[in-house]
Amino acid sequence: MFDRFYTRVTKAPDFPSDFDWINSDEPLSLEKLAGHVIVLDFWTYCCINCMHTLPVLGQLEKKYEEKPVVFIGVHSAKFFNEQDRANIEQAVRRYEISHPVLVDRKMTVWQKYDINGWPTIVIIDPKGTVVYKQSGEGQKEMIEDTIDTLLERHGRNGTLSKEPIKITHHIYQDKTTLSYPGKLAISNNKIAISDSNHNRIIITDMNGKIEHVIGSGRVGFADGDFESASFFRPQGVVWKDDLIFVADTENHAIRKIDMISRKIDTVAGTGRQGPWISSGGRGKESLLSSPWDIAVKDNLIFIAMAGSHQIWTYDTKTDLIQPFAGSGYENIVDGNRMQAQLAQPSGLSIFGDTLYFADSETSSIREIDLRSGNVKTLVGHGLFAFGHKDGHLDEALFQHPLGLCATPNKIFVADTYNSALRVIDLEDNKVSTLIGKQGISGICRIDDPKCDSLGLYEPSDVKFYQNLLYISDTNNHLIRIYDLKTNLLKTLEIKID
């Protein structure tokens, strides 16, 4: 453990006094936290590896809640959109983070601590000395050992606070029908909605009348009937006849809903996160990593495996699940599907023999020819090339898109971090914006009393059905409908009889 102790900096740099804090009613400083073990988590809310680290920190927070140990998130943004305090606050709510989060403007604290990757954990001892610094996932035991050592040593030396500091903050109450809805699937005039933060799937008719609520709403990983089964922040949903397959993202599993028998079964995954590289195997014996979206063609279920930067397939006939595209290395490299490099694929759509996907961390839209197995990038340039720019495919820019829907000559894109709906014209090879204006900072939010025209707020998905676009307006907790003929955007009123 001690060979990972960080010795380059003797004293920890303090936090800027004028920076914003979330989950703390007052700014924190190293002086206020003297006598405490401080665990800093440098993160950015787009990052799948950061998402994997949050449950680990949550477990450790609970273990040390009666000890003088303080966990602090330092949000050092990658994308433009992630620099906005209100957007970070939404992410804190969505991930249900309970510890204080510092909004690190212009990556100031990141630079002071000489950080070079997300996530990075830094531990500061009760005397204000940096003693540990490590990047990446899988640090639980090392963090735990470091905290235990510091508590024992400083307790013995009398340099440990007698009581843990009390940090108070406003508790957000969720009163919306949907909570951060993720993905949509529409078939036979039925809409399946992943009501992600309510840990359930909702089925409505085309007017928004709720016909089925699937899942207890409690966090869990239990099969069973509609009332007793449980999910954990599900995302992707897809219809296959009378079945719905679900990417149960934070359970690292694929679930199957049978609408006839009203039963939920797990078809792949164990509930535990899999390793970075895996060859797959039998469905329920295989470890998956953050499946984010799902699509179907014949007997194959295609899975956007965001956590391993790959696309996988599950064969409903053979019960085999395995990688289909992506080497596991994170980048934007085209070519043969198994040698290609992807970056947190988060949205899938199949049209004909082409699988289109939103490769979120490269802000790109890419395709796989299912006959040749070739991966090709339509729009996008790299891990740090993003923005909001219309025009030819070679010049257009997206910002962390999460959802898309392919039609014969157009691809509709939920351009998430631009809070926009974009369209790729495959005949003209151009990108244009349908909803969301360029060059405007901030949008009208659902809880803003001055709001007279509600735009989109980090939409996660879009589906084309009967000449209308259905949009999962995630941070507004709504499903929206866009009429391509009238250019009108309205809200689907979700209601129970």
User: What pLDDT does 386 receive?
Assistant: 98
Q: Measured between alpha carbons, how far is 185 from 360 in angstroms, rounded to an integer?
A: 20
**Which residues partner with 273 through β-bridges?**
288
- Distances in Å between the Cα of 7 and the Cα atoms of 71, 72, 231, 346 are 21, 21, 43, 38
Q: Measured between alpha carbons, how far is 264 from 287 in angstroms, rounded to an integer?
A: 19
User: What pLDDT does 441 receive?
Assistant: 41
Q: Nearest CA to 354 among 371, 332, 378, 335?
A: 371
Pairing of strands 430-435, 461-465: unpaired
Q: Measured between alpha carbons, how far is 452 from 4 in angstroms, rounded to an integer?
A: 54
In DSSP notation, 168-210 reads --PPPP--SSSSS---EEEETTEEEEEEGGGTEEEEEETT-BE
Task: Going residue by residue through the chain, which has 497 residues, state the pLDDT in tens, using 9 for 90 and above.
Answer: 333 444 455 799 999 999 999 999 999 999 999 999 999 999 999 999 999 999 999 999 999 999 999 999 999 999 999 999 999 999 999 999 999 999 999 999 999 999 999 999 999 999 999 999 999 999 999 999 999 999 999 999 999 999 999 998 777 777 899 999 999 999 999 999 999 999 999 999 999 999 999 999 999 999 999 999 999 999 999 999 999 999 999 999 999 999 999 999 999 999 999 998 899 999 999 999 999 999 999 999 999 999 999 999 999 999 999 999 999 999 999 999 999 999 999 999 999 999 999 999 999 999 999 999 999 999 999 999 999 999 999 999 999 999 999 999 999 999 999 999 999 999 999 999 999 865 444 445 555 555 556 789 999 999 999 999 999 999 999 999 999 998 889 999 998 76
User: What pLDDT does 426 receive?
Assistant: 97
Placement of tokens 């085309």 in the chain? 206
CB hemisphere CA count around 130 (13 angstroms): 19
CB hemisphere CA count around 298 (13 angstroms): 7
Could you give the dihedral angle defined by the CA atoms of residues 182, 202, 238 and 435, in that order, rounded to the nearest 10 degrees? -40
User: What pLDDT does 172 receive?
Assistant: 75
In DSSP notation, 423-454 reads EEETTTTEEEEEES-TT--S---TT-TT-SS-
Placement of tokens 């983070």 in the chain? 97
State the distance between the two ends of the chain, measured CA to CA, in whole angstroms: 59
User: What pLDDT does 438 receive?
Assistant: 52
The size of the chain, in residues, is 497
Burial class (CB in 10 A: 0-12, 13-18, 19+), 34: middle
Amino acid at 347: G
